[in-house]
């Protein structure tokens, strides 16, 4: 006989957590003195020294153990702003909109309807209709921001394992449907490039703007890439 203590108080039941099957994470920035700092090359974190060594061999940089309490406590500041990867298809990308208050998720939707909690799932989220208004609400913590996760393998070391890129980039969110459509057309594993693209421009008021944005480019079917024996 199993305990039934949560039948009368289901909200008290702890959320079950699952460890994903990735061997490392890609990041476009890092925290310095508790402040976010954008990077011009990819930062890769992992908990496996062998993976860290392999990434450093392929992408440059030196594995360093950090004081992070995360399982991915080894950091490699690579020398690459772009790398060729293999995505399994559109299912390698997940995306939604989230607003956090500390560690509490207080708004979770797809831009039109709530995705959680269960009692609100499917109901209108009442987010602004216009993209500009969505961004403004997110900037002032009155609305959710993109939460995009991309899972992939390194084309140069396919068997090293799965990596994940997690980003809240609005720029990527705006074109994500194009990436998913391109992956859908291939219908299987695809050779892609993930990049930290440098963007520079001058505003109408004369202010110079410079930043990096994450970009995913779908290149060709992985089977074709293997047949062509590309020089990575």
For every residue of 26-93, DSSP letters joined together read: EEEEEEETTEEEEEEEEEEEES-HHHHHHHHHHH---EEE----SS--EEEE-S-SEEEEEE-SGGGE
**pLDDT for position 32:** 87
- The SS3 assignment for 130 reads coil
Residue 202 lies in a domain: no
Residue 119 lies in a domain: no
**pLDDT for position 10:** 64
What is the C-alpha separation between 40 and 78, in angstroms, rounded? 10
Q: Which residues pair with 49 in a beta bridge?
A: none
- Top-confidence residue, 10 or 74: 74
Residue 231 lies in a domain: no
**pLDDT for position 124:** 96
If you count them, how many residues does the chain have?
232
Residue 216 lies in a domain: no
**pLDDT for position 4:** 46
Tens digits of residue pLDDT in 66-122: 988 889 999 999 999 999 999 999 999 999 999 999 999 999 999 999 999 999 999
**pLDDT for position 11:** 64
Mean pLDDT of the chain: 91
Q: Which residues pair with 149 in a beta bridge?
A: 94, 166
**pLDDT for position 1:** 40
**pLDDT for position 17:** 40
Residue 217 lies in a domain: no
Residue 172 lies in a domain: no
- The SS3 assignment for 107 reads strand
- What is the β-pairing status of strands 82-87 and 190-202? antiparallel
Residue 28 lies in a domain: yes
**pLDDT for position 6:** 53
**What band does 145 get if pLDDT is binned at 50, 70 and 90?**
very high
**pLDDT for position 55:** 98
**Residue 36 neighbours by CB under 8 Å, 6+ apart:** 29, 30
- Chain-centre distance for alpha carbon 73: 18
The domain total for the chain is 1
Does pLDDT of 22 surpass 50?
A: yes
- Chain-centre distance for alpha carbon 10: 32
Average pLDDT over every residue of 125-138: 96
* Domain residue limits at 30: 21-80
**What band does 202 get if pLDDT is binned at 50, 70 and 90?**
confident
Residue 181 lies in a domain: no
Does pLDDT of 9 surpass 80?
A: no
Helix axes 170-186, 131-139, angle to 10 degrees: 130
Does pLDDT of 230 surpass 60?
A: no
**pLDDT for position 176:** 96
Q: What are phi and psi of 39, to 5 degrees?
A: -115, 155
């Amino acid at each position: 006989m199993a305990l039934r203590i949560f039948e009368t108080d289901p909200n008290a039941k702890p959320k079950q957590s699952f460890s994903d099957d990735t061997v490392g994470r890609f990041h476009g920035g890092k925290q310095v003195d508790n402040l976010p700092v954008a990077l011009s090359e990819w930062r890769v974190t992992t908990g496996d020294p062998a993976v860290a060594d392999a990434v450093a061999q392929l992408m440059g940089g030196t594995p360093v153990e950090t004081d992070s309490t995360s399982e991915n406590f080894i950091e490699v500041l690579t020398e690459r702003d772009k790398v060729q990867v293999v995505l399994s298809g559109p299912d390698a990308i997940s995306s939604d909109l989230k607003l956090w208050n500390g560690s509490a998720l207080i708004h979770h939707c797809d831009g039109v309807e709530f995705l959680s909690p269960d009692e609100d799932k499917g109901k209108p989220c009442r987010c602004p209709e216009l993209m500009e208004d969505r961004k403004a609400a997110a900037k002032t913590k009155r609305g959710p921001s993109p939460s995009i996760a991309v899972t992939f393998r390194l084309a140069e070391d396919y068997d090293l394992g799965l990596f994940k890129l997690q980003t809240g980039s609005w720029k990527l969110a705006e074109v994500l449907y194009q990436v998913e459509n391109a992956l859908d057309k291939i219908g299987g594993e695809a050779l892609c490039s993930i990049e930290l693209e440098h963007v520079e421009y001058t505003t109408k008021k004369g202010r110079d703007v410079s930043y990096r944005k994450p970009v995913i480019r779908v290149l060709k079917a992985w089977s074709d890439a293997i047949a062509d024996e590309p020089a990575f």
